[in-house]
């Protein structure tokens, strides 16, 4: 009975932040898929990573559905939490990323996944913005880079949306992501500059700052059909943030393991895809080296994250009350 109680307790504390794991794994899948196009690396790597990503997504979805059935109050509390609520849209972002990853396998499957993911993400965006606008529970210390996930995640939609012919719809989602990225970045920087620093547990979420300009560059280039000066601004803004955060590496290496470590994953993978795309558009020795370096870095980091997460599960270090 005690073991059964403990398993139920762990289930009640299974966080929606696990969906960030899917973002990281699928992001790495897309990075190696791009590498197979740009550097002619083995296509077996992204295919294997896609299987791992899809299986991880299904397992996490099933566990969370079980949590909804067994612990609806815990789910409601998490969904209404001013910080944790931002991780629920990682579910729909996972779908959008899987739609990109399956483009080369089945265009029809990719389209169905894209429609589902984009629709759910729009609902999440409307809900979260409604919460921000009309509920007094939010305070300055609740604003973290994780707030980018529900709103700025819209900027991902055009990557496969354009391939399926949804041009205007893709511009719609891109516009939401771009405009609110600028707005939210201002709010987040205000919090970090003039208020209490982020708690240690949330420090890895600073890497989320890289994702909007990196993904924005990829999406904008898809929509625009060519590289222009605005695309360059997005790309170099992303690269500067990579430099800024990597220069703070000693601070990040001292942080105790939390599921928030997965915030390192997708932004680094997105930056490597952006670098490879830039290399395709304007080949140079510098961009070649940058692409290889970011691909190696994101692969190493995500491999460590996956192994450390499995170890944490084995040691019962996660899914505990805070």
Dist CA 137 CA 300 (whole Å): 39
What per-residue confidence (pLDDT) applies to 195?
Answer: 82
pLDDT at 271 over 50: yes
Using an 8 Å Cβ cutoff, are 255 and 203 in contact?
yes
At 145, the pLDDT band (50, 70, 90 cuts) reads confident
Look at 222 and 10; give whichever has higher pLDDT: 222
Q: pLDDT for 158-202, tens place per residue?
A: 999 999 999 999 999 999 999 999 998 998 888 888 888 888 888
Cα–Cα nearest to 33, from 270, 293, 319: 270
What per-residue confidence (pLDDT) applies to 221?
Answer: 97
Dist CA 5 CA 30 (whole Å): 40
The percent of residues in the chain predicted with pLDDT above 90, rounded, is 67
Residue for token pair 């007094």 = 136
pLDDT at 116 over 50: yes
What per-residue confidence (pLDDT) applies to 253?
Answer: 81
Domains of the chain with bracketed CATH: 2-314 (1.50.10.150)
Lowest mean pLDDT among 11-15, 88-92, 156-160, 223-227: 11-15
Q: pLDDT for 212-265, tens place per residue?
A: 999 999 999 999 999 999 999 999 999 999 999 999 888 888 888 888 889 899
Regarding pTM above 0.85, the answer is yes
* Helix, strand, or coil (residue 315): coil
Using an 8 Å Cβ cutoff, are 84 and 78 in contact?
yes
What per-residue confidence (pLDDT) applies to 4?
Answer: 43
Contacts of 163 (CB under 8 A, 6+ apart): 103, 107, 110, 222
Round the average pLDDT of the chain to a whole number and report it: 91
Q: pLDDT for 295-319, tens place per residue?
A: 999 999 999 999 999 998 888 888 7
Look at 246 and 82; give whichever has higher pLDDT: 246
Dist CA 298 CA 270 (whole Å): 9
At 1, the pLDDT band (50, 70, 90 cuts) reads very low
pLDDT at 8 over 60: no
């Amino acid at each position: 009975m005690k073991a059964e109680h403990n398993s139920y307790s762990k289930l009640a504390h299974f966080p929606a932040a696990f969906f960030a794991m899917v973002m990281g794994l699928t992001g790495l899948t897309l990075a190696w898929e791009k590498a197979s196009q740009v550097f002619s690396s083995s296509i077996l790597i992204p295919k294997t990573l896609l299987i791992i990503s899809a299986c991880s997504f299904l397992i996490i979805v099933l566990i969370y559905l079980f949590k909804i059935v067994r612990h609806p109050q815990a789910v409601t509390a998490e969904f209404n939490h001013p910080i944790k609520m931002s991780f629920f849209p990682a579910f729909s972002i996972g779908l959008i990323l899987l739609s990109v990853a399956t483009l080369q396998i089945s265009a029809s499957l990719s389209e169905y996944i894209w429609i589902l993911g984009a629709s759910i993400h729009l609902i999440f965006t409307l809900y979260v913005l409604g919460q921000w606008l009309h509920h007094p529970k939010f305070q300055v210390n609740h604003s973290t880079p994780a707030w980018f996930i529900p709103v700025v995640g819209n900027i991902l939609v055009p990557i496969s949306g354009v391939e399926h012919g949804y041009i205007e719809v893709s511009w719609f989602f891109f516009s939401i992501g771009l405009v609110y990225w600028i707005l939210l970045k201002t709010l987040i920087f205000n919090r970090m500059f003039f208020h209490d620093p982020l708690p240690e547990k949330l420090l890895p979420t600073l890497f989320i700052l890289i994702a909007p300009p990196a993904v924005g560059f990829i999406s904008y280039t898809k929509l625009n059909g060519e590289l222009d000066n605005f695309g360059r601004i997005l790309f170099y803004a992303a690269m500067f943030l990579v430099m800024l955060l990597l220069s703070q590496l000693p601070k990040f290496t001292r942080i105790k393991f939390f599921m928030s470590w997965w915030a390192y994953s997708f932004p680094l993978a997105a930056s490597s895809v952006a670098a490879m795309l830039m290399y395709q558009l304007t080949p140079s020795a510098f961009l070649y080296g940058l692409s290889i370096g970011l691909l190696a870095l994101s692969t190493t980091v995500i491999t460590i994250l996956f192994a450390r997460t499995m170890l944490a599960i084995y040691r019962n270090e996660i899914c505990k009350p805070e």
